[in-house]
Amino acid sequence: MSEICIDCWNKYMETTDKPRKFLMSRVPELCEDCGQYKRVIIRYRLHSILLDRITEMVEDVRCQRKR
């Protein structure tokens, strides 16, 4: 399962969501986008479908970087 921090979430979604809107990890984990240890979004409480979509987008970007 891909996990991203709130900063990366806001960057990709162009939002300024606050961490309390999400279920965040209790301890810092590796954000799969910025590569830093931060509290990451485990599950978006209201729009888990959106998180699935952002996960796909992040993986697309990572694939493009490898080329």
Q: Which residues bind Zn ion (CB under 5 A)?
A: 5, 8, 31, 33-34
The values of phi and psi at residue 24, to 5°, are -100, 155
Least distance in Å: CB of 49 to Zn ion? 21
Judge whether 39 and 19 are in contact, CB under 8 Å. yes
Tokens of 4: 């991203």
Which C-beta is closer to Zn ion: that of 11 or that of 47?
A: 11
Least distance in Å: CB of 1 to Zn ion? 15
- Map residue 16 onto helix, strand or coil: coil
Least distance in Å: CB of 11 to Zn ion? 8
